[in-house]
Structure 1
C-alpha cells in the first residue's frame, strides 16, 4: 500500500486494549520504518487512565501525532448492573477532553460519525442522524480536529449529513472524511453493510444481479465503478468540500489501486497540472498540517491533498514520476512484482468468511463483540445453565431455529448453503458437546459456477478440503478426540486454550490451503488457508466472545458462571482432513 502514498493510515485498537501491544508495535513500524503518517485508533470504554496514558506516551515516542478517539463497545452487562466505577471514561468525548488536557495540541484528534445514525440511538422509526448530531458537536467542541464516518454507500444520506454539519456554526469548519469500503465480493459487501447498519441504495444493488454475484471478478469490476461514482459525487455535490476519503481496505490493496487508477478525481495525482496549487503531505508529516491549513483558510480549502512519488519526498517536488503511475497500474492489474503480491486478494471471501469475520478485520475498530444488544442476545440464546443447554443452542442454529451464534452474529444470520451437505454430521458433533464454529465439506473439481461451491470466474474448477473448528472440553480432547486424530495421517490439527498452551501435529509455521481454484489463464488461487499464526490470533478472539456472551447475564448467575467456565475448561481445535477426494473422511473419523 505504500506505493499508493496515502495521506495517512489508521491502525485499529481492540476493545479494552485487548490488542494494544500489537497495535502499538504496528503503529511504530508504520511511522518509523515505512514512513507513513499514522493515525492510531484508541478506544476508552472499560479502560483505565493508566492504560490511556501508556498508549499515548508510546505513540508519542514513536512519532505518532494522530489519534482516532473512539468510545468502543460498552462492556456486556452494563444494562444489568455492571459497576463502571473503575472506568475513567464513559464516552469518546471524555477521551478527547483528556487528550487535549494532557497533551494540548500535540495530537491531532479524530472522532467517528454516523451519517445514517448510530444503531444505539434507534427507535421505532429507525436510526436517526439528528439524534447523533449533538454528540458529534460535543466531541468537536471538546477538541476534535477531524471526522471519519462509518462506512457509507448512500450518497444522498451522506450529503444530507454533510449539509447539516456545514449549517451548524459550532462545527461547520471540521474536516469530514467519508468512510468507504471497496467491494471485493458480494457476500462480504452485503454482510459488512448490515453489520455497519449502512444502507445500500437500490441503484447500487441493481448493478449486482444474481447472475454475477458469485463471480468475484465481475463483482470487483462493478464495485470499482460504483466506488468511483460515489467518490465523484461526494466531491462535486459538496462543492468540493470533501477533500479526502478513508478506505476500509480490510487489508486488500488491489481493488483500491484500481479505484485510484480509474477514478477521474483520484487520477489527478497523475496530472502534473493539478499540482500547481497543492498542500503536500509527505510521509514524515502529520494531520496537523491539514488541520492548520483548514483553519487558516476560514473553513474552505484552497488546496488539494495529494500523494507524492516517494514516502519521504520533500515539499516542493510536486511532479509525479511516470514510474509511480506505472507501479500503481501494476498493482491494479495484478502484473509485475507488486501486482503478483496483490493477487492474493482476488477472492477474499474464502469459504467461511461469514463465521470467521475477525480474520478479515473489524470494520468498526472496536474489536470482537456479539454485534447484538444484551436484550437481543438473551432473546436469541436464552439463559443456558449447563452444557446440554449450550449444545441445544448450537444445534438450533444448525437447524435454522435461531439465526445467529456469537461467532457468526451477522445481520444476515443463517448458514452457508454448503453447510447443509454436512449438517447431520455437525449436529451429531454438537450433541456430543463439541461446539462447532466453522466448517466446510470437501469437494473435488467442482465447476466454478456451481451454485453451492462455486466462486471465482466462470470456466474454472474449485477444490476444498473438509474442515471443522470447534470447542471441546480439555478432558475430551485428551481422552477422545486427540487419539482419533493421531490414528489418521491425513488429519492435521491446531489446539489451544485461552492462555499460552498450543499444540499441533504439524511442523512449526506450516500453512495449509483448504480452498483453491484453477481458472483459465491464471495461476492456482488459494483463497482460504489454515495456519498457525492466524489460528493463534483468532483463538484469542474466539474465547473472548464467550466472555462477551457471559456479560449478558448478571455476575454469579448460572448462565454467567457456565459461559465464563468455558474460558478455563475448553480448548479450541482446528482440524483439516487432507483427503479432499473423500467427502466423508473427516466425519467418519470424528464420529466413529
Structure 2
C-alpha cells in the first residue's frame, strides 16, 4: 500500500531510482507475454511501474487489469495513468473506485492527448468539469483526500498540440503546472525529451518559481530508450521532442541504420543524459522514468552501463520482492538478472527465437502479434496524426467515393502528404517500386492502406530493402491491404477461391465483424524474413488472424475519426458513415516471392 512519494522518502538523500512504463498490448498473446516480461523486469528493482491509459479510456479495462496484476501479484508499486478529456465522468469514477478496491494508490492525472480542437471534440454534458488535468487533480483530492498519490505531466520543451509550433514554450505552460501542483500533485513526470540542456533549464526555472510550490516536489524525467531508428524518429515526432544534431550525427553515421548498432549508440546517449542530469542538478533530480515501449533489452543495457541507475538496482530500500511462484531465480545477483534480460534467456515457456526478435525488430502493427510490444507505441489510441484544421485543409469535403479515390491516388503520387491511415513520412522507397500498380488499383476503388513488393534474397545492407545484421540476405512476400465495397469483395473472393489456389492467402472483414479467410485460426504467414551469419532465420513480420482482427478494428475506427471532422448529416459525414458500414478490409498475401509480379498480375487481370 506504499505510495511513490513514500518510497522516494525512504531512500537516502542522494540515492537514485528509476521506474518503468508499460502499455496493454492489443492481442491476448501479447498481453500474456508482457506479463512474463514484467516479471523478469521486476527483478531489476524499479521503484514503481506506470500503466498507460488509452485516449478516451480506450484501454480502461486492460489498463486496470494489468495495473492490478502488477500491484497484487508482483508486489510492484503501481501507478495508473488516468486521462479525463473526451471521457464521461462515470468512467473516471469507476476507474478511481476500482483502483482503490485493487489497492492501487498512485495515479498519473493527465488531460489526455492528442487534444481534439473545437471543431473535432466537444465535451459531453457529464465531462464538462474535466477540461484540463488540474480539474482531475482537484476532483481526486476532493473525492479521495490523501488516499491517492497524484502525479502530473510536465513538458520541458513546452506543450505542443501540433497546430501551432510557435506556442511550444515551457514559460507558457509554467502557470498551469504550478496550478496542478498547488491543487494537490505529489510528483511531476516529464514528457520524453532528448535535449538535456533544455531539461536542465526547465528544472532551474521550475525550482525558482515565485510561488514556491516546486521547491521540494520530485521531478522525474521521462526517457525513451532508442530501440530502432524508425521507432525513435516516429516517437520523437509524435511528442514534438527536439533531437539535438549531435544525436542525429551519431545515429546517421551507422551504416544502413543497423539495428544492433543503433541500440548500442542509443544506450550511450541515454547513459550520458542520465549522468549529466543527476550531476548538474546536484542530485535534485535523481529519479529516471523509462518509456520502455514494452521492450526490455535496451533498458537493461542502460541500467548496466549507467553508474547512476545501476547503483539503484542494488537498493535495498526500493527492493521489489517478487513472489517465489513467479520469480525466475530468487537468489540471483542483479548482474545475472540484467544479463538474462539482455540475452533474453527465458524463465517462461516462450520460444527463445521468437522472443529475441521481439526486441531486435519491434515493428508495431507489422511485428509479431505475440510480442509484448504489439500495438500503438504512442499510447494515444485512434488518431488522424494531424490536427483537425489541417486534416480539413488536406482532405476537404468529400462527397463521393470518386473523391476518396482521388485522395488515395494523390497520396501515392506524392501530392498529398498524409492520409488518415498514414503519417507525414511519405511513401517508402520500396512502395515506389509498385506505385503504378497501386495507383491503378486505387483508381478502381481498391483503397490501399498497406502493401509491399516481393523480394528474393537481397543483401541485408541494401539501401531500399535491407534490415538486420550485415552479411545477411532478406526475403519478403508481396502483400496488400485495402478497403473495397462489399460487392467488389464478393467478386474478388470468387476469383481467389477459383484461381488463387494455394498461392494466395487472404483475410477479410467488415466493421460489423463479419470475417472470412481461407486459412485456419492457427495459420501464420511469415511475410518478411532474413538469414544472417551465426543466427537462426529471423521472422520479424507475420500476418495471422489475431493481428488482422486487432488491426481491422482500428482501421475501421479511423473512418469514424475522420467522420467526426464534419457536422452530422453533412454530405461528407454521410459518405464516410456509408463507407464505414458497407466496405470490407481485405488483406492478401501471395506466396510466390520469386516472381515479383504475381500478386499484381492476379489483382489487375
For this structure pair, what is the TM-score category when the shorter chain's length is used for normalisation?
Answer: 0.7 to 0.9
Matched, 1:150 2:161: no
Q: 1:539 aligns with which of 509, 529, 552?
A: 552
CA drift of 1:153 comes to: 0.5
Q: 2:418 aligns with which of 395, 399, 404?
A: 404
Alignment of 1:28-67 (within 5 A): 28-67=68-107
Alignment check: 8 A CA contact 1:73 1:369 kept: no
Change (3 A) 1:166 1:519: same
Alignment partner, residue 268 of structure 1:
311
TM-score by length of 1: 0.86
CA drift of 1:172 comes to: 2.6
Secondary structure of the equivalent of 2:450? strand
Alignment of 1:367-446 (within 5 A): 367-410=381-424, 413-446=425-458
Secondary structure of the equivalent of 2:91? helix
CA drift of 1:154 comes to: 0.5
Alignment check: 8 A CA contact 1:472 1:573 kept: yes
Q: 1:178 aligns with which of 221, 229, 239?
A: 221
Matched, 1:234 2:277: yes
Q: 1:93 aligns with which of 116, 134, 138?
A: 134
Alignment partner, residue 317 of structure 1:
none
- Tell me, in whole angstroms, the C-alpha distance in 1 between the residues paired with 2:384 and 2:442: 21
Matched, 1:503 2:516: yes
- Tell me, in whole angstroms, the C-alpha distance in 2 between the residues paired with 1:260 and 1:205: 23
Q: 2:66 aligns with which of 10, 26, 29?
A: 26
Alignment of 1:279-318 (within 5 A): 279-280=317-318, 282=320, 310-311=321-322
Q: Which structure ranks higher in relative contact order (CA pairs < 8 Å, sequence separation ≥ 6)?
A: 2
Matched, 1:519 2:557: no
Q: 2:51 aligns with which of 11, 17, 20?
A: 11
Alignment partner, residue 576 of structure 1:
589
Secondary structure of the equivalent of 1:235? helix
Alignment check: 8 A CA contact 1:10 1:41 kept: yes
- Tell me, in whole angstroms, the C-alpha distance in 2 between the residues paired with 1:397 and 1:100: 49
Alignment check: 8 A CA contact 1:253 1:342 kept: no
Alignment check: 8 A CA contact 1:70 1:111 kept: yes
Alignment check: 8 A CA contact 1:518 1:524 kept: yes
Alignment check: 8 A CA contact 2:297 2:359 kept: yes
- Tell me, in whole angstroms, the C-alpha distance in 2 between the residues paired with 1:159 and 1:19: 34
Alignment partner, residue 295 of structure 1:
none
| Stretch of structure 1 that moved more, 342-351 or 230-239 | 342-351
TM-score by length of 2: 0.85
- Tell me, in whole angstroms, the C-alpha distance in 1 between the residues paired with 2:561 and 2:573: 10
Alignment partner, residue 297 of structure 1:
none
Alignment check: 8 A CA contact 1:45 1:74 kept: no
Secondary structure of the equivalent of 2:125? coil
- Tell me, in whole angstroms, the C-alpha distance in 1 between the residues paired with 2:115 and 2:573: 14
- Tell me, in whole angstroms, the C-alpha distance in 1 between the residues paired with 2:357 and 2:309: 22
Task: In structure 1, list runs of 5 or more residues that go unmatched.
Answer: 283-309, 314-319
Change (3 A) 1:331 1:472: same
Matched, 1:331 2:341: yes
- Tell me, in whole angstroms, the C-alpha distance in 2 between the residues paired with 1:421 and 1:188: 23
Matched, 1:117 2:131: no
CA drift of 1:503 comes to: 2.8
Change (3 A) 1:420 1:150: same
- Tell me, in whole angstroms, the C-alpha distance in 2 between the residues paired with 1:38 and 1:538: 29
- Tell me, in whole angstroms, the C-alpha distance in 1 between the residues paired with 2:518 and 2:140: 48
CA drift of 1:158 comes to: 0.8
Alignment partner, residue 191 of structure 1:
234
- Tell me, in whole angstroms, the C-alpha distance in 1 between the residues paired with 2:168 and 2:141: 31
Give the number of equivalent residue pairs. 548
Alignment check: 8 A CA contact 1:44 1:92 kept: yes
CA drift of 1:511 comes to: 2.7
